[in-house]
Amino acid sequence: MNDILLKVQTYLDKSNKDAVDISDTLVEEFGEACKSALRKQFSEKRREGFKPRMSSIGRPLCQLQMEAKNVKGEGQPYNVKMRNTFGDLIEALAIFVMKSAGVIVKDEQKKVKLKFKESEIEGRLDVKIDEKVWDIKSASPYSFDRKFGSGFEEVAKDDAFGYVPQGYLYSESEKMPFGGWIVINKSTGEWTVCETPIDDE
């Protein structure tokens, strides 16, 4: 079992059985992360013009080309804002739980850039743990079990959201290995860690 997952499960199991001390500092950090999530989702203006980001680069090429031409689609359903906010709040809670469980979390939400030729691409990595870059994801029960629960190859095989290139762009920008995904089932609260293969050239 992955060390991150072991620490988290041990901590949560302990907290189920009895009260645990929690750090006031971590509570404050969690509160600030929740405030930032609300500001990001509800009050930040959309970026003007098209600029690929690490989080979008793995999407289908035709979708990126349409965005670059500023072609407007049918728009998003009304619940998208709620879904995106849930993801941000679950990520903030995941960081609180990991830190409370003794996982050494570094550089959370760090802005990064990767330069190549005459261009550069920007992104914001989630966390560094054990000298690796990790991405935190909230997932539906189906995605949790069938995708992330089945291993790296399954994620890479059907990667409509570009999770694999996103993770490796973060890692390349920091000259550090990509560890994989720390995933929380948003319906059940279960955790899994989907690691990259040791030989991932």
- Average pLDDT over all residues of the chain: 91
The answer to whether 53 and 123 are in contact (CB under 8 A) is yes
Distance, C-alpha 100 to centroid of its chain? 19
Length in residues, the chain: 201
Beta bridge partners of 110: 125
Domain boundaries, the chain: 3-195
Give residue 19's pLDDT: 94
Angstrom distance (rounded) from CA 19 to CA 172: 41
Burial of 79 (C-beta count, 10 Å sphere; 0-12/13-18/19+):
exposed
The answer to whether 196 and 180 are in contact (CB under 8 A) is yes
Distance separating the N- and C-terminal Cα atoms of the chain = 23
Give residue 199's pLDDT: 74
Domain 3-195: CATH architecture, name and number where available: Alpha-Beta Complex (3.90)
| pLDDT per position as a tens digit, 117-136 | 888 889 999 999 999 999 99
- Listed residue (197, 193, 178, 195) closest to 101, CA to CA: 193
Ordered alpha helix ranges (H), 43-133? 61-68, 80-100
Burial of 15 (C-beta count, 10 Å sphere; 0-12/13-18/19+):
middle
- In terms of DSSP bridges, do strands 132-139 and 127-129 run parallel, antiparallel, or are they unpaired? antiparallel
Name the percent of the chain lying above pLDDT 70: 95
| pLDDT per position as a tens digit, 128-161 | 999 999 999 999 999 999 999 999 999 999 898 8
Residue 76 pLDDT greater than 70, yes or no = yes
Residue 73 pLDDT greater than 70, yes or no = no
| pLDDT per position as a tens digit, 176-194 | 999 999 999 999 999 999 9
Element (H, E) at 164: helix 163-174
Give residue 8's pLDDT: 98
Residue 75 pLDDT greater than 80, yes or no = no
pLDDT band at 61 (very low <50, low <70, confident <90, very high): confident
**Which amino acid belongs to residue 72?**
K
